[in-house]
Copies of this chain bind each other. A is one copy, B any other.
Amino acid sequence: MDSVTSLEWQDGVLVLLDQTLLPGQITYRVLGTVEQVRDAIRDMVVRGAPAIGVAAAYGMALAARQAPSDGFPAFYAALDSAGHMLALSRPTAVNLSWAIDRMLAKSRACSELPVDFILTELEQEAIAIHQEDIAINRAIGSNLLSLVQPGDTILTHCNAGALATAGYGTALSVFFVALEQGIELKAFIDETRPRLQGARLTAFELVQSGIDATLVSDNMAAVVMSQAKIQAVIVGCDRIAANGDTANKIGTFGLSILARHFNIPFYIAAPTPTIDWDCPSGHDIPIEERSGEEITMINGERIAPAGVKTYNPSFDVTPAAHISAIVTERGIVRPPFAENLAKIREPWSGPKKN
């Protein structure tokens, strides 16, 4: 696969492609501490729920190395505290706490081992999470591909691509898997204000891979749909409640209303760890609000007058009723979601809260 790489584990340090500088500049950041990982997640050097999860897993492996090595209780207390710090960096993505919890559970499972051995086990666990993410995304792509026809044009929002994951992407995996099979799909991309992840990242990924991609402003989606240019909407997500309500980048909810209006199938692409079994509905998903400067400033220049208020919710919740299917690595889940999501639940798939 030729798609771009968001993160690599190299000789005990985490190397991140700095996504805040794309598409103009390809710069890698080398992170050796959990605090650096926390800052990178908070500042969106790495973004996308699955990529955040993988980065957090490596962050926990780094935290383990920073923790006291004189006995498990002190070691675990430091690791647990690092987990709490990491979890605060982006509140909406469930993969973040899922990965942290999995790393903590692994350390508890190793509590009888010397701390040096635990460090190795945790590094291996993070690498496993990383590799699983790639395999999961490939499976999601294959499942998505079964829902579309060769030649179809798919509208996507934000970036749920290789950059948002450890590889392939969730929503975008359909394009990369299709490409591997010689099947042509076309893309329309919402630019995704305020941070323009569609324009900056999704367009970058698709163009790099030679996929036919057309960029539009978010507010053009209705016109594009009305002209019958779109056969499906496919987006990623940050958290799915047990009833199927889905949090994703701001604008997804509006897009789901438009898709219903035009009878266009609306698919959520999601690895099962994105399902938060402890979260009964969308009302229970915390929605991150970010600085108003994301709206009033572009590229460091003010585009709005001083004195104007702003409202900048970074995510919104698409009700389950607007979703045609949730496409996971374990298969395509159709409504009713409360019932059908539960069928794909397995013990290891959910966050293990303690």
Contacts and interface: CB of A to CB of B under 8 A. Distances in A.
A interface secondary structure, majority: mixed
A257 B250 contact: no
Given A207-B307, A220-B250, A224-B311, A199 B295 contact: yes
B295 A191 contact: yes
A191 B193 contact: yes
Interface string A211-249: 011111111111110100000000000000000000000
A224 B304 CA distance: 19
Q: How many copies does the complex hold?
A: 2
A148 to B, nearest CB: 20
Band of interface residues on A: 35 or more
A213 B204 CA distance: 35
A308 B214 contact: yes
Q: Which residue among A215, A301, A307 has the maximum number of chain B CB atoms within 10 Å of its CB?
A: A215
Contact of A254 (B192, B258, B298, B303): B258
Contacts of A48: none
Contacts of A216: 295, 310-312
B251 A261 contact: no
Interface string A258-284: 100100000000000000000000000
Contact of A304 (B215, B298, B306): B215
A181 interface: no
A298 B295 contact: no
Contacts of A182: none
Contacts of A218: 193, 217-219
B295 A222 contact: no
Contacts of A257: 222, 257-258, 261
A200 B313 contact: no
B299 A215 contact: no
A316 interface: yes
Nearest to A308: B203
A113 B207 CA distance: 64
A13 interface: no
A286 interface: no
Nearest to A208: B305
Contact of A251 (B199, B217, B226, B250): B217
A277 B24 CA distance: 49
A196 interface: yes
A311 B255 CA distance: 18
A194 interface: yes
Nearest to A307: B207
The 5 closest A-B pairs by CB, nearest first: A219-B251, A222-B254, A193-B217, A218-B219, A23-B305
